[in-house]
Amino acid sequence: MSTAIPPLKGDAQGRYRIRVVGNSGTGKTTMLRRLESLLGIPALPMDLVLFEPNFVQVPREVFRARVLEFMDKHEQWVVDGNANSVLGHSSTDNATDVIWLDPPFVLYFPRLFWRTMRRIFGYDEPCAPGCDETWRSVFFNKESILLWAITQHKRNRTRYTAAYNTDPVERGGKWRRLGGWGSEAKRWFEEVEKLAKSK
């Protein structure tokens, strides 16, 4: 009898409701899009329902309602983003799997920096329609995405370490941590690909 831990837990009917969490720049939306394509399930980047043009945040209750409506509408889904203070435990409790992306800061921050530069010059799409990065918003704003990543790194790691330790996949829970320099995430996704092909 195999004791190997499957890459995704799912529910008793083989359906997946996946939440991807991690600090800004750790690759959440990239992971979301790959899972959406591979598993063929609906995906929601939370930034799309959080921001109006010019990074204007919708009211908390509107954001919460939009996310929960998406989850209620679909039997399977993958969502990315944190927003724990707004969503509470709702999105995590509804998930069958929580994937915590936790690479070293020195690995993902340079990637975030260059992604931000590409957005400034228009090579990459913004996180939400009308939310274009500018020199001012990135380098002369207290809400800069780069500053946010720096200040939230330790806070998110502390928060998610506690959550992971209470319900890790190694003990039959739903939380899975993908850390290291990339090989762990690569191996995990290869296992997800095998799982998808077996269905």
Residue range of the domain that includes 36: 17-104+155-193
Do the domain assignments include residue 47?
yes
Do the domain assignments include residue 82?
yes
Do the domain assignments include residue 119?
no
Do the domain assignments include residue 144?
no
Do the domain assignments include residue 39?
yes
Residue 163: give its domain's CATH number. Answer: 3.40.50.300
- Dist CA 131 CA 151 (whole Å): 21
Do the domain assignments include residue 125?
no
Do the domain assignments include residue 33?
yes
Q: Which amino acid is at 90?
A: S
- Dist CA 2 CA 179 (whole Å): 25
Query: pLDDT tens-digit profile of 161-196?
Result: 999 999 999 999 999 999 999 999 999 999 999 999
Q: What's the DSSP call for residue 127?
A: S
In this prediction, residue 85 carries a pLDDT of 67
Query: pLDDT tens-digit profile of 59-116?
Result: 999 999 999 999 999 999 999 988 776 776 667 888 999 999 999 999 999 999 999 9
Do the domain assignments include residue 167?
yes
Grade residue 4 by pLDDT with cuts at 50, 70 and 90. confident
**Contact criterion met (CB below 8 Å) for 45 and 121:** no
